[in-house]
Amino acid sequence: MTAKSSPFTDMPGARAPLIERARFAPGDIVRHRMFDFRGVVFDVDPVFSNSEEWYEAIPEAIRPAKEQPFYHLMAESDDSSYIAYVSQQNLVADGEAGPVDHPQLAAMFDGLDRGRYRVRAIHRH
């Protein structure tokens, strides 16, 4: 491959997939479109970057495309807190609904400011 090529464009007749830009950033509060949970973004993958086993476990009827941003969330539902991995198509902004109560938030974020969490200086790139 050349410096400007990719596995998608080196094949005859192949075109690179159209990849969406990330709509959310670390500190943004989001809500899942289909399932009843909210969370705070703490990392972003420009495209799917989890295991095939994880991906195949999603029912085919609702399985998202891989060529979109995926978000790592400190998530909460009514009865638990956990880490979630969610496609962009399944998230909507939810900062106006108030804070998220996740036990790991204080390790990465410095507080809530106008509907989004401030990333601690130590975690900024």
The full set of domain ranges for the chain reads: 29-123
pTM of the full predicted structure? 0.83
Predicted local confidence at residue 10, as pLDDT: 46
CA–CA distance, 33 with 54 (Å, rounded to integer): 19
CATH T-level assignment (fold) for domain 29-123: SH3 type barrels. (2.30.30)
Closest CA to 45 of 29, 28, 66, 61: 66
Who's near 95: CB < 8 A, 6+ residues apart? 28, 29, 114, 115, 116
Tens of pLDDT along the chain (125 residues) come to 444 444 444 445 555 566 789 999 999 999 999 999 999 999 999 999 999 999 999 999 999 999 999 999 999 999 999 999 999 999 999 999 999 999 999 999 999 999 999 999 887 76
- Measured at the alpha carbon of residue 56, what is the angle toward residues 24 and 72, in degrees to the nearest 5? 25
CA distances from residue 93 to 53, 70, 79, 97, 122 in whole angstroms, order as listed:
28, 14, 21, 9, 25
Predicted local confidence at residue 26, as pLDDT: 97
Predicted local confidence at residue 70, as pLDDT: 98
Predicted local confidence at residue 55, as pLDDT: 98
